[in-house]
Structure formats: structure tokens, C-alpha cells
Amino acid sequence: MPALFLSHGAPPLVDDVRWVGELEKWSKDLPTPTAILMVSAHWESAPLTIGATDPTVPLTYDFGGFDEHYYRVRYDAPGAADLAAKIEALMPDTEGVRHDPHRRLDHGAYVPLTVMYPEARVPVLQISLPTLDPEKLLDLGRRLRPLRDDGVLIIGSGFTTHGLPFLRDPRPDAIAPTWSKEFDAWAGERFAAGDVESLIRFRDLAPGMPYAHPTIEHWSPLFVALGASDDPEQKGDQVIDGFWMGLSKRSLQLT
């Protein structure tokens, strides 16, 4: 099973015909997972925290200012208690693991899944980002790597650029700002080169900074996916590119 870095989009992603089509095609080209493990930019909690395994726990509607119908979305995927136990067993004794039975999938997790796996038949579990340190997240991904042998699809869900404070045009088809285009082009080149060292040092090396990532949580899930892959320095498959609201939706599939 591959590992993915996915630019996930806000709740209105589901209204974007082109992006929906890209996500649908991507999911159809993937093997059917036994379970899905989501690591979203929208949940930072240390130590590593495992989310709800009870599918009756409400989704986490962690956004504001959208139409009411976005707050009525449901995604009743089965819980993944077995996966939660496996993750806890993979963590070293020196690092604690918490459980939060009241926190279910946030929009970085469930919004793309409503498009990719709309029937919600595959068990889904979300874990927190316990740190934003790229090296430590690579290590976390390496620990999670054996789950792929059990058919678990590991998804790091962020956004290749996320300079929301600097956007001036809220339309989905807005022209991308220069800082977003420059960072996106750099990211595409670094992905194609398998240049993990530069990806780690993005704050110093990438054009468009700090505007592309005034905070870094949307870039951080990339490193979990890279660590969970067979080789973080591989030239992954850049399945989706382009922009939405001027933000880069470049997404990566890794073997």
C-alpha cells in the first residue's frame, strides 16, 4: 500500500468539480485499503494522541464562516480499534501515547475522504501531529511503515502552500500569488529529485517563504508520509498539481 501526502482543501473542496475528479481518479487507481490512517495538519497534540475509534463520535468541525450545510456533513466510517492498538505497539516505550476518545476526524481528514471513499466502508483512524520537527516526523513515519504491509493507507493531509493571511481573492479559480507559484515550483522540483534534505530545510531554502507557510503545520504531514515510504529519497508520483484559491494543491504518492 502506498503512502500519500495530500493537499486536502477546505470544506468547499467538494464543490470544485476539477479537484473532486482528480481525487476520485486517484482513489480508484489505489489498491483497496484495509484501513486508513490520517495525519492532519489540523491536529497538533503531544505526546502522540490516537483519536476516537467509536464511529458514533461526531466529526470535528474545526472551521468557521462557512455555510450551515458544511456543518451537517457526516462520514460514518467504521472505527479502527485494531489499528489503534497496532500503532500504540509500534511506539517506543520511552515515548508516551495518549488516547482521546472524544476527538474524531477533522476536516483535513474527512473532507478528502468524502470524495475518495464516499461509501465510508473502510475503517479510518486519525492520530495527532506530536511535533512539527521534520526529522522527528520522519522517524514517526518510519515507525508506522509496517502498517502498509497490512494494507493500511497512510495519508499525511496538509497543503503545499497555505498562506491564508496573504490571499486577496477568495475565488477557487483565483490567480495564484507569486509566493505560492514559486514555492509550488520549488516543491515540485524537490519532489522530483527526492531531495529530502532541502524539503526539511524549506524555511531557509524555498522561495515564497514565509508567505507560503507563515505557520508550518500544513507542510509537516509531508514528513510522516515520506518516513512511512520505502525510501524517503524516492522520486514520488506527483498525482495532483495546480492551484485552488491561489494555494498549491500539489499532492504526492510514495511507494
Residue-wise pLDDT for 127-152, tens only, equals 999 999 999 999 999 999 999 999 99
Q: What pLDDT was estimated at residue 130? A: 98
Nearest by Cα to 149 from 35, 5, 22? 35
Is residue 75 predicted with pLDDT exceeding 90?
yes
Residue with cell 526529522: 135
Q: Output helix, strand, coil percentages for the chain, rounded to the nearest 5.
A: 40, 20, 45
pTM to 2 decimals? 0.96
Is residue 116 predicted with pLDDT exceeding 90?
yes
Task: Give per-residue pLDDT as tens, 175-229.
Answer: 999 999 999 999 999 999 999 999 999 999 999 999 999 999 999 999 999 999 9
Domain at 3-254: CATH code: 3.40.830.10
How would residue 66 be classed by pLDDT, with cut points 50, 70 and 90? confident
* Cis preceding-peptide flag for 210 (omega within 30 of 0): yes
Q: What pLDDT was estimated at residue 83? A: 98
